[in-house]
């Protein structure tokens, strides 16, 4: 037990280090600009006074390490500064939308994970059958489709007939059931995009194991193929499966950007796209930090879970 | 009903194109390449045919297109009828013309970006593996840090800083993708630099550039070429996504991603026109994936 806590602690420290590096990159990216950020943002026609005012507002007059320290300590307390475009505190802008984005990602995950794991196990069970080949070809096709293509095909077939709304309007009074109904199409889009990859990896992980001697032993004992896969193969394939699920959930976090724009979903992705076109650097930095942190956390969780699922991984050097 | 019909037509076209291109390649292939094409699966020959068609269309765009690239030819959102075979867009430009020019612009920019990412990533990766020590450590840790941020998010951050223009789009996507190429090139080269003939080449006094270019690169080519196909798909999808978001290739340049964005409202009225550019993107990525799948399968020597 002690060993496990030590492992988790070590991974957490590594995760924190990664987050620190990420915050350095996100902050340092603004330093890459050869000229002056204020002039770049305001354009060539800006007067000296407005440039000086913007520099003062962004704190560009301080040396970089001081600015980084101020930014990081404020961000850790939930204060991301003020948006340049709307003059509102970024924490207010982000707050409600973060919940919506998380809701959409969780919704898609709740649809995608069971479906793709079941399909993956079935494809492994009936490998080289028509079902396996068809689902494989479909998965390869789905991986190659741009998200907005999938989204608009769904809109054409499911929203145009009035079955589901093609735009999502969430207000404070929206009930949970209604929210589920309204965000069904974006969630379905994300599900289609991520489950192909999860299904293929689940199938590959299980088929890899089916060649091992202990599976043959189980077969020779006269077990049914389904029981062989579920009882013997899946528990040992958990580590790669957990990893690929986490990787795809992390992908969901960024995949929401395009899908949110298609369905006018009031989430972080939409806010980020608006901020990029307005060149509202403070907002972009804040959202990038949130997305990157979620990405790192999910990978960390996958790492810990897959290590727990296979005790042999605990003692590797 | 409509969907079923489209599906059937698609499948029939797939088989015809696959079989035809396989037959053509079998008759035209030089004899020493014959075995390669003989066992080619239908998916791969279909993929090659599609890629060739895209290539021809993008090269001959001005000849094939009935109108000028950004020429306003009629009213907005005209239906599919001669002389505008696929109708017109929001500003009254011919849809077919813009699709044809889009092949040139979108695919060309994606190809240039992938090539740039590969040039930079491969040379840095092999260099790091060859020199080793602190250079390898510095470069690899930097790449690790950059790769721990999701690609799309990092590109959006960089685009905010450098502004949204075609040049910064190419540079940003190339920089983000070069990190992935670097990883692969470095790990492939690490297996090669320990070989005796590299040692011999070093003792012979060959310079760094010659070692990379003449000794290591030719032997690292096979995995890198397959990766090029996959990377091209990712880059192509990333550029289309950014253009769709309005942050990539800007109008009046004809581009598939932004064409979907501009005409998206039509979909809610049941018009499939905006799906055509999106479908063009999807078709090319599927085709490239089929070919890459076949090449990987061949290289790994797996025979089911």
The token duo for A17 is 């280090």
d(CA A272, CA B289): 30
Which residues of B are less than 8 Å from A281 in CB distance?
160-161
B290 belongs to a structural domain: yes
Which residues of B are less than 8 Å from A146 in CB distance?
237, 240-241, 244, 257, 278, 281-282, 285
Nearest CA in chain A to B266: A156
Position A278 scores a pLDDT of 83
Q: Is A152 on the interface with B (CB under 8 A)?
A: yes
B164 belongs to a structural domain: yes
Say which of B146, B257, B268 has its CB closest to residue A166: B268
Say which of B43, B148, B268 has its CB closest to residue A296: B148
A21 CA: distance to closest CA in chain B (Å): 6
Decide: B254 and A147 in contact? Cβ < 8 Å: no
**Cβ neighbours of residue A43 under 8 Å, at least 6 residues apart?**
none
Assign residue B290 the CATH number of its domain. Answer: 1.10.3720.10
Position B116 scores a pLDDT of 95
**Omega prior to B190 cis, within 30 of 0:** no
**Residue A289 predicted with pLDDT over 80:** yes
Say which of B43, B161, B275 has its CB closest to residue A152: B275
B249 belongs to a structural domain: yes
Position A30 scores a pLDDT of 74
**Cβ neighbours of residue A33 under 8 Å, at least 6 residues apart?**
A40, B161, B162
Nearest one of B241, B246, B240, B279 to B262, comparing CA atoms: B246
Which residues of A are less than 8 Å from B145 in CB distance?
21-22, 24-25
Cα–Cα distances (Å) from B233 to A184, A254, B16, B106, in that order, read: 28, 18, 24, 12
Which residues of B are less than 8 Å from A250 in CB distance?
150
Nearest CA in chain A to B240: A146
Say which of A32, A147, A281 has its CB closest to residue B241: A147
Q: Which of A301-315, B34-48, B94-108 has the highest mean pLDDT?
A: B94-108
Digit-coded pLDDT (tens) for B253-269: 888 888 888 888 888 77
B161 CA: distance to closest CA in chain A (Å): 6
Which residues of A are less than 8 Å from B267 in CB distance?
152, 155-156, 160
B158 CA: distance to closest CA in chain A (Å): 7
**Residue A161 predicted with pLDDT over 80:** no
Cα–Cα distances (Å) from A45 to A38, A49, A59, A61, in that order, read: 12, 12, 21, 21
Position B122 scores a pLDDT of 93
d(CA B239, CA B153): 13
d(CA B233, CA B215): 29
Which residues of A are less than 8 Å from B153 in CB distance?
254, 257, 272, 287-288, 291-292
Give which of A38, A133, A152 to mutate to test B binding, by max B Cβ within 10 Å: A152
Q: Is A156 on the interface with B (CB under 8 A)?
A: yes
The percentage of chain A sitting over the pLDDT mark of 90, rounded to a whole number, equals 1
Mean pLDDT of A231-247: 84
Q: Dihedral (C-alpha) B120, B162, B136, A313: value to the nearest 10 degrees?
A: -110
Per-residue pLDDT band at B121 (split at 50, 70, 90) = very high
Largest CA distance in chain A: 84
d(CA A175, CA A178): 5
Q: Is B255 helix (H, G, I), strand (E, B) or coil?
A: coil
Digit-coded pLDDT (tens) for B199-239: 899 899 888 888 888 888 888 887 888 888 889 998 999 99
Decide: B143 and B86 in contact? Cβ < 8 Å: no
Mean pLDDT of B159-180: 89
CB distance B157–A288 less than 8 Å? yes
Per-residue pLDDT band at B303 (split at 50, 70, 90) = very low
Strand partners, B284: none
Digit-coded pLDDT (tens) for A21-31: 888 888 887 77
B174 or B296, which is more confident = B174
B32 or A256, which is more confident = A256
A43 or B15, which is more confident = B15
A67 CA: distance to closest CA in chain B (Å): 17
Phi and psi at residue A167, in whole multiples of 5°?
Answer: -130, 145
Give which of A33, A148, A272 to mutate to test B binding, by max B Cβ within 10 Å: A148
Per-residue pLDDT band at B304 (split at 50, 70, 90) = very low
Task: Calculate the average pLDDT of chain B.
Answer: 84
A254 CA: distance to closest CA in chain B (Å): 7
Decide: B24 and B52 in contact? Cβ < 8 Å: no
A102 or B84, which is more confident = A102
Nearest CA in chain B to A293: B149
Phi and psi at residue A148, in whole multiples of 5°?
Answer: -70, -25
Position B109 scores a pLDDT of 92
H helices of chain A, where?
2-28, 37-42, 48-58, 64-76, 90-125, 130-144, 147-154, 176-182, 184-210, 213-220, 225-227, 234-262, 268-278, 281-309
Q: Is A105 on the interface with B (CB under 8 A)?
A: no
d(CA A117, CA A114): 5
**Domain housing B170:** 103-299
Give which of B43, B47, B110, B160 to mutate to test A binding, by max A Cβ within 10 Å: B160
CB distance A152–B274 less than 8 Å? yes
d(CA B297, CA B53): 24
**A281-309 and A2-28 are packed helices; what angle lies between their axes, rounded to 10 degrees?**
160
Decide: B74 and B134 in contact? Cβ < 8 Å: no
**Residue A33 predicted with pLDDT over 80:** no
B31 belongs to a structural domain: no
CB distance B151–A250 less than 8 Å? no
B266 belongs to a structural domain: yes
Phi and psi at residue A161, in whole multiples of 5°?
Answer: -80, 0
Lowest mean pLDDT among A59-63, A300-304, B243-247: A59-63
Which residues of A are less than 8 Å from B278 in CB distance?
146, 148-149, 152
Which residues of A are less than 8 Å from B154 in CB distance?
288
Lowest mean pLDDT among A276-290, B15-29, B110-124: B15-29
Say which of B153, B278, B288 has its CB closest to residue A292: B153
**Number of independent structural domains in chain B:** 1
A91 CA: distance to closest CA in chain B (Å): 18
Digit-coded pLDDT (tens) for A109-138: 899 999 998 988 888 888 778 888 888 878
Q: Is A280 on the interface with B (CB under 8 A)?
A: yes
B268 belongs to a structural domain: yes
B44 belongs to a structural domain: no
**Cβ neighbours of residue A116 under 8 Å, at least 6 residues apart?**
A194, A195, A196, A198, A199, A202
Per-residue pLDDT band at B112 (split at 50, 70, 90) = very high
A149 CA: distance to closest CA in chain B (Å): 5
B73 belongs to a structural domain: no
Question: How high is the ipTM of this complex?
Answer: 0.83
Say which of A149, A251, A261 has its CB closest to residue B282: A149
Decide: A51 and A42 in contact? Cβ < 8 Å: yes
Nearest CA in chain A to B236: A146
Q: How many CA atoms lie within 13 A of A252 on its CB side?
A: 34
What pTM was computed for the model? Answer: 0.86
């Amino acid at each position: 037990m002690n060993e496990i806590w030590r492992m988790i602690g070590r991974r957490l420290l590594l995760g924190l280090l990664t987050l620190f590096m990420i915050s350095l990159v996100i902050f340092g990216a603004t330093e890459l600009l050869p000229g002056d950020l204020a002039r770049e943002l305001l354009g060539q026609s800006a007067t000296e006074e407005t440039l000086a005012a913007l520099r003062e507002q962004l704190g560009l007059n301080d040396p970089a390490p001081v600015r980084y320290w101020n930014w990081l300590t404020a961000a850790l307390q939930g204060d991301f500064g003020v948006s340049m475009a709307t003059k509102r505190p970024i924490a207010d802008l982000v707050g409600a939308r973060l919940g919506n984005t998380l809701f959409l990602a969780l919704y898609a995950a709740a649809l995608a994970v069971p479906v793709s794991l079941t399909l993956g196990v079935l494809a492994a069970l009936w490998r080289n059958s028509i079902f396996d080949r068809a689902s494989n070809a479909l998965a390869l096709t789905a991986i190659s489709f741009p998200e907005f293509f999938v989204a608009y095909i769904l809109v054409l077939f499911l929203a145009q007939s009035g079955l589901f709304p093609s735009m999502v309007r969430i207000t404070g009074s929206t009930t949970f059931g209604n929210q589920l109904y309204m965000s069904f199409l974006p969630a379905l889009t994300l599900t289609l995009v991520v489950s192909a990859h999860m299904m293929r990896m689940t199938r590959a992980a299980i088929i890899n194991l089916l060649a091992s001697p202990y599976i043959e032993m189980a077969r020779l004992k006269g077990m049914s193929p389904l029981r062989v896969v579920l009882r013997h193969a899946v528990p040992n394939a958990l580590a790669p499966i957990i990893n690929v699920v986490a990787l795809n959930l992390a992908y969901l976090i960024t995949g929401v950007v395009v899908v949110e724009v298609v369905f006018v979903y009031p989430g972080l992705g939409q806010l980020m796209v608006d901020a990029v076109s307005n060149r509202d650097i403070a907002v972009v930095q804040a959202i990038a930090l949130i997305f990157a942190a979620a990405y790192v956390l999910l990978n960390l969780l996958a790492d810990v879970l897959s290590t727990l699922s296979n005790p042999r991984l605990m003692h590797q050097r | 009903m409509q969907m079923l019909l489209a599906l059937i037509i698609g499948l029939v076209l797939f088989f015809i194109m696959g079989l035809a291109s396989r037959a053509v390649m079998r008759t035209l292939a030089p004899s020493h390449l014959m075995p390669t094409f003989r066992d080619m699966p239908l998916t791969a020959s279909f993929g090659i045919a599609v890629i060739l068609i895209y290539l021809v269309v993008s090269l001959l765009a001005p000849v094939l297109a009935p109108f000028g690239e950004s020429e306003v030819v009629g009213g907005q959102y005209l239906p599919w009828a001669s002389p505008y075979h696929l109708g017109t867009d929001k500003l009254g430009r011919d849809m077919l013309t813009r699709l044809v020019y889009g092949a040139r612009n979108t695919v060309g920019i994606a190809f240039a970006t992938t090539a740039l990412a590969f040039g930079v990533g491969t040379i840095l990766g092999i260099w790091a593996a060859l020199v080793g020590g602190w250079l390898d450590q510095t470069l690899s840790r930097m790449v690790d840090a950059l790769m721990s941020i999701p690609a799309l998010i990092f590109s959006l951050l960089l685009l905010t800083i450098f502004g949204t223009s075609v040049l910064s789009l190419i540079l940003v996507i190339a920089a983000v993708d070069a990190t992935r190429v670097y990883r692969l090139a470095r790990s492939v080269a690490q297996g090669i630099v320990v070989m005796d003939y590299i040692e011999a080449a070093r003792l012979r006094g060959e310079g760094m550039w010659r070692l990379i270019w003449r000794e290591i690169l030719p032997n690292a080519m096979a995995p890198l070429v397959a990766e090029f196909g996959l990377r091209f798909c990712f880059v192509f999808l990333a550029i289309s996504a950014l253009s769709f978001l309005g942050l990539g290739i800007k109008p009046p340049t004809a581009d598939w991603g932004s064409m979907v964005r501009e005409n998206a409202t039509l979909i809610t009225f049941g018009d499939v026109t905006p799906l055509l550019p999106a479908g063009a993107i999807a078709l090319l990525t599927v085709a490239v994936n089929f070919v890459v799948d076949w090449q990987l399968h061949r290289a790994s020597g797996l025979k089911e």
